[in-house]
Structure 1
Amino acid sequence: LYALLLVAIAGCKKQEDRPAQLPDDKLTAILSTYQKQLTGAEYGWTGYQFPNGGGAFTFTFKFDEKNRVVSMADINATTAATGLESSYRLKAAMQPSLYFDTYTYLHILADPDQGLGGYSDFEFGIQSASTDTIKLKGNVSGSEMILVRTKQVDAGTVIAKSIAFNASLNRASQFNYYYNRLSIAGKTYDFTLNPEQQTVNFYYAANGTFKSYSTEYAVTSNGILLRKPFTDGDLQITEMHELVVDVAQNKINFKAGNNTGTTTNVATPLAISLDAASALYTSGSAFTSNTGFTNAGRIDFFGLTTIPGYGYILLYPKYFTNADAMFILYGNRQYGPAFNIQLPANGALIFAGNYALQGTSPGAAYTTAIASFRAQVLTPLGYYVFPTGKASYDLVSVADSKIWIRF
């Protein structure tokens, strides 16, 4: 649109009785066109925000002619239920830009004190625009946002639908096995959705080498929009629509362009990474799991979330000078097994050792559950490791692929 407007302006016949437009006048005209586009959407805009720190969020924006905007977002219960009015402006910086210049829900994602931010933006350069879509890129952190004109059928319900649909994707955790074999356009991949991180992941072998592709997704009215398309030869997946998780059949169905994708729940992986376990161990990070182990579709198999004050499970490589640990955090306490991580040649991650449980026990009522949890952690063959985002991994039991845990 920017380029077309410049061409149109440059192509106008110059009149003898009036001066040519100055550059500032041209920019003013361009910004005015963008403002009319923003304010002219009867039902507002749906925004798909992809912070550079990972994850994805859905927003709604209703812009008016007085430079006010009302936003909602699927960040938390408050942002989903309560519209927030703030100001915006269009500015000619290095390029035409959209500034949310007083506090909006976008600022939560850019605020390190919120625990979500540091890698997001509230000032965006306009990259391209069509009648129904505006693509933006953050001027500071380089996060990306796509604005799509909201349809009448979705007016007022975008955020609620986004939250409900993303939650429905977690039903894939109820499948019998961890592995889902995707068939699409004559090609085959292992396929995983991570609704916690809002990522979609493909695993396969190319010339005998493990390949993985992970990208964030945003929730649309009946599917997901990938931040970056998945491309393999002549296959490109930019969006999965009519996406359905069928627990009864243990499968996922969707359409991508003219192709139909269908998964089959299987016991063995298509390919194994020989490097992911080492990457996890040497990252210098700790990793959290909200629900612990899943076994044959039963989430929180050991019932650890029932511990009073339960927070999460923490995998902490090199927590001790000579050992690693996996703690159950509850209240301001922690309890769990210590071990030594081993990295065998088959790519597995093994938690080995016979250390006593470390920390403060939550009480006798949980002794059996925690003993069973410890025994599972220390399973001798360990776990295959699959990356599901910038700093997230799924660990799948080598001995039994019905058992897995998400960090």
Structure 2
Amino acid sequence: MKRILSLLLIAGLFSACQKDESPFDKGPDERINETLASYEQALVSSPAGWNATIITGTGGLFNFHFRFNASNRVFMFSDFNQETAGTEKESSYRLKSLQQPVLMFDTYSYIHLLGDPTGSVNGGQNGEGLKVDFEYSLDTLYADSIILTGRFYGTRLKLIKSDQADLDAWQNGIWENNLAFLNISEILEYFKRFSHAGVTYEMLIDETSRTILFHWVSGGTLRTFVTSYYFDNTGLVLQEPLVNGNTTITGFDHFDWNDNNKTLDMQVNGQDATIAGATAPLRTDLGAPRRWWEAAANAGSYWISPTGFHVNGVDDAYHVTEVPNYYFTIFWPAYGRTQDNVVVDILGFVTQEIGGLALNIAAGYRPPNFTSDGRVVFPFLDVLTDVPPEAKDAFEKTYQKFSEAEGFYFVQTGASSYDMVAASDARSWISWVR
């Protein structure tokens, strides 16, 4: 009897061990399906949806709000612009196993606006947009958040469960009102200013990277401060506050765009302020034009502009990017000399040909005149090449603008980047990089 009991106990123990190991008997397909099901359950389990943030490949932080349902539909808002902040868009999503669980936004949505390869859609470069993914590996699932990583650019997407107040802020127009700040791009002048606490501040906005460059004068010296910005349900927030003596500016709110005057009313630290255009710099950088010219000339190099001139509120106003095989606009200082030994600068269009890049469309300029008040004037010499009919209009308008008698101011925006602004009215400019 003892022997039989002992055998029964051993058999029971063996049976129990087998039962504990049974989860490992599931096949890989079954396990991945269970994982996908758990993620889908998480996505649809938040009644008020998810607050989401995306940091683009160009550095900007964008907010979204997602609501997923079990029918593979997603409803979203975005702070890309006022329309996307005020109009909820429905599109589709899928969860799929591609070696690991992947969330795919598989029809055009507000996320696709950021990643659209047509640069005019989002201000990014043609072919890449703002470098944002549409497919995301699901990295980590927490009780109230999900962390995801883009499969191509490595875009970081974070979802945090929202409450009803978060959803209401989107649905009731609070975010849309805050995005009225973006009307600042409708101010036609390059130079944009507001005053606060007795100080005038000049602002240069880069919407693709969501950064602001501030200039102001303190103690007779021009001060400069650069910071990233983002939006929330209170307004615009500076990533790093601007500190000027006893004044600290953390952001702006209560925006009201005046389309007749092209001005933007707002509040700064609870005080009213107005952003308006100006036709000249707050303090002209007298040496900037010569620095720009000599930086390339001394290196035997050149400056490029992907999209040509911005004029009266229109990017690529002369449609240079529509020239067949256009690659970029080029300015090459001290490119060569004439038969009379005069130094010649080159302005032209570089195109993509079968054998590679080619400079087949060009005009020549005599050495520039640097004025004592910080402008530069480019004396036109001649068109140096045959210009094909399909490029004639764009090129003529470009070199004629370049030849304006009033010349241009230069604003240094980075170690190897400048904006060249028409001194006539500051409503035309071109951005150069090297």
TM-score, length of structure 2 as denominator length: 0.56
Report what 1:83 is aligned to: 91
CA 1:361–1:83: 2 relative to 1, 3 Å = same
Amino acid of the structure 1 residue aligned with 2:196: I
CA distance in structure 1 between the partners assigned to 2:202 and 2:265 by the alignment? 14
- Quote the sequence identity (%): 18
What is the 5 A alignment of 1:3-402? 42-51=47-56, 53-62=58-67, 81=89, 83-85=91-93, 101-103=102-104, 105=111, 115-116=128-129, 149=162, 150-155=166-171, 161=176, 165=180, 168-173=183-188, 177-195=189-207, 198-220=210-232, 223-274=235-286, 277=289, 278=291, 282=296, 286-289=304-307, 292-294=309-311, 298-300=312-314, 304-305=318-319, 314-318=328-332, 321-322=335-336, 323-327=345-349, 335=361, 337-339=363-365, 342=368, 344=370, 347-356=374-383, 358=385, 360-362=387-389, 371=396, 373-380=398-405, 382-387=407-412, 393-398=418-423, 400-402=424-426
| TM-score for both structures, normalised by structure 1 | 0.59
Instruction: Answer with 1 or 2: which has the greater Rg.
Output: 2
Deviation at 1:48, TM superposition (A): 4.3
Deviation per CA, 1:1-51: give whole Å up to 9, x if none. Answer: xxxxxxxxxxxxxxxxxxxxxxxxxxxxxxxxxxx9998764334434343
- The root-mean-square deviation of aligned C-alpha atoms, in Å, is 5.9
Q: How far, CA to CA, are the matches of 2:89 and 2:346 in structure 1?
A: 42
| 2:253–2:266 CA contact under 8 A, matched in 1 | yes
1:92 aligned partner = none
1:183 to partner: Cα distance: 0.3
Deviation at 1:356, TM superposition (A): 1.0
The answer as to whether partners of 2:409 and 2:420 remain within 8 angstroms in 1 is yes
> Deviations 1:98-145 (Å, cap 9, x if unpaired)?
x9954455998699995246799978999xxxx9x999999x999887
> How many Å separate the matches in 2 of 1:124 and 1:352?
58
Measured against aligned partners, the alpha-carbon deviations of 1:283-329 in whole angstroms (never above 9, x if no partner) come to 96622336x343xxx34599634997689894423399444425498
Checking the alignment, whether the CA contact within 8 Å between 1:351 and 1:382 is kept in structure 2 is yes
AA aligned opposite 1:49: I
Instruction: Tell me, yes or no, if the aligned pair for 2:178 and 2:233 is still in contact at 8 Å.
Output: no
User: Contact conserved, 1:225 with 1:239, CA < 8 A, in 2?
Assistant: yes
Secondary structure (helix, strand or coil) at the match of 2:93 reads: strand
Structure 1, unpaired ranges of 5+: 1-35, 89-98
| Residues 186, 262 of structure 2: 8 Å contact kept | no
2:410 is paired with a residue whose SS is strand
Deviations 1:221-277, CA, capped at 9 Å, x for gaps: 685343443333333333322223324234222123423322344443221235655
SS of 2:260's partner is: coil
Structure 2 residue matching 1:239: 3-state secondary structure: strand
* Aligned mates of 1:317, 1:197 — CA distance in 2: 25
Cα distance, 1:256–1:379 mapped onto 2, change above 3 Å: same
- Superposed CA offset, 1:207-233 (max 9, x none): 444333344444556853434433333
Report the Cα offset of residue 377 of structure 1: 0.6
Q: How many residues align?
A: 348
